[in-house]
Amino acid sequence: MKITAVKTFLVDGGFRPWTFVKVETNEPGLVGWGDCTDWGSPGPVAATVARYAEWVIGRDPMQAEAIWWDLHTASVRHMGGIAYKAMAGIDSALWDIRGKVLGAPVWQLLGGKMRDKLRLYWSHCGSVRARHAAALGLPPVETTDDLRRLAEEVVDRGYTAIKTNLFALKDRPDATPLLNRFTNHAGDAHPSVIRNAELIVGTFRDVFGPDVGIALDVAFTFKLGGAIKLAQALEPYNLMWLETETFDPDALALIRRSTRTTICTGESIFGQQGYRPFLERYAQDVIMPDFAWNGITMGKKICDLAHAFDTLIAPHNCHSPINTLVSANVCATVPNFFIHELDVDDAPWRDDLMTHPFEIEDGYLKIPDRPGLGSDLIEAELLKHPAGHYPHAR
């Protein structure tokens, strides 16, 4: 059995592009699907997949680990970033093929599942409807009353946790978000920015009560001092976590020591070597590996490394439906799994792309038992939704 082709598909994901990888073999009908979605640079990632295709065509697709490390060696002078994302898309597709050949789910190949379902949190809760409601056909979130109605919907639909972002509400012009987009800023937490965070988090907490988890994602928006101010200001709300990023593990460790707020980080880190200094310093309570950017081969190793440092994992998963399945298969097998991300407010055609859409009940994702990742994509449906332009996607 040999790999005969590696193809990419750039697909409209509603408010971000999805990048799918299809690995074909010389066995009739045997293909694998992967995900290497990158919100900002889908073209360069797809081009790198095409370059790597030259090196893997003709190889045995069952050799996922060997192919990972061969690509790693070939890319050692430009490791991380776009290289890792391209490698991850191919890697996940190879695991999908392995499962199909062996007649087993990927989680079975990784050691067997520890759980039958995964607790979900509703990601971009509020921010998608504040920024992309018209494109997705959703009710907009423009005021605090709109936000309260969304919070009530979360409870009615059975979700026990959400993640939100900073965004403006028209009835509170005194509460101004500092957005992590394409604008250079000092990264301080001005009082108006603190008010914005307290308004959004406080509105959710008021509706949810004490038991529903609330995470706030501010990415790289704040520098050290600003992140500390924000974390301390949010202590009364008992966040599930504050998600703040820096490439300085000592700075993050200082943030964590300066607050009672739970700290999460890691979506922008690559490989065990990238995560190790953060774990060694116990710089965070939860790490967030992205399996569309680290693949299954490396993603499982990162989870196991985190377990050695007594640290929970909650995968970064605001990409495509294939990455949801990739993440679910890994999370089924690791003892330090905490909670799984899902964009509930997603492209309305998401399920149309899948031969077997997700099974979600009361805020939990059922882990599929089908061979491979658990679903194929329907190529004709992918072609109906070519990727467009996504200004200021985040």
Q: What is the mean pLDDT of residues 278-307?
A: 98
Taking the CB of residue 164, how many other CB atoms lie within 10 A of it? 26
pLDDT > 70 fraction of the chain, expressed in percent and rounded:
97
Q: Is the pLDDT of residue 180 over 70?
A: no
In the chain, the amino acid numbered 197 is A
Q: Exposure of 103 by Cβ count < 10 A (0-12 exposed, 13-18 middle, 19+ buried)? A: exposed
Count of residues in the chain: 394
DSSP string across 156-177: HTT--EEEE-----TT-TTS--
pLDDT of residue 388: 81
Going along the chain from its start, the domains and CATH numbers come out as 3-103 (3.30.390.10), 109-373 (3.20.20.120)
pLDDT of residue 186: 74
The pLDDT confidence band at residue 183, using thresholds 50, 70 and 90, is low
Report the predicted TM-score, pTM, of the whole model to 2 decimal places.
0.96
Phi/psi at 134 (5° precision)? -65, -40
The pLDDT confidence band at residue 182, using thresholds 50, 70 and 90, is low
4, 69, 94, 297: CA torsion to nearest 10 = -170
Q: What is the mean pLDDT of residues 175-179?
A: 87
pLDDT of residue 79: 86
Q: Is the pLDDT of residue 214 over 80?
A: yes
Q: Which residue is listed with tokens 């194929």?
A: 376
Question: E strand or H helix at 72, and its extent?
Answer: helix 64-74
Cα separation, 5 vs 265, in Å, equals 36
- Tell me if residue 274 falls in helix, strand or coil: helix
User: What are the pLDDT digits (tens) for 39-90?
Assistant: 989 999 999 999 999 999 999 999 999 999 999 999 998 888 999 999 999 9
DSSP string across 347-384: -TTTGGGBSS---EETTEEEPP-SSBTS--B-HHHHHT
User: What are the pLDDT digits (tens) for 119-164?
Assistant: 999 999 999 999 999 999 999 999 999 999 999 999 999 999 999 9
Positive or negative: CA dihedral 274, 44, 127, 138: negative
- The residues that bridge with 120 in the sheet, in sequence order, are 340
pLDDT of residue 187: 86
Q: Is the pLDDT of residue 171 over 80?
A: yes
pLDDT of residue 18: 98
Q: What is the mean pLDDT of residues 7-27?
A: 97
User: What are the pLDDT digits (tens) for 229-243?
Assistant: 999 999 999 999 999
Mean residue pLDDT across the chain: 96
pLDDT of residue 179: 72
Q: Is the pLDDT of residue 8 over 70?
A: yes
User: What are the pLDDT digits (tens) for 352-366?
Assistant: 999 999 999 999 999
- The residues that bridge with 131 in the sheet, in sequence order, are none
Percent helix, strand and coil across the chain, each to the nearest 5: 40, 15, 40
Q: Are 23 and 57 contacting, i.e. CB atoms less than 8 angstroms apart? A: no
Q: What is the mean pLDDT of residues 203-230?
A: 97
pLDDT of residue 184: 64
The pLDDT confidence band at residue 178, using thresholds 50, 70 and 90, is confident
Of 238, 237, 255, nearest to 246 by C-alpha is 255
Question: E strand or H helix at 306, and its extent?
Answer: helix 291-308
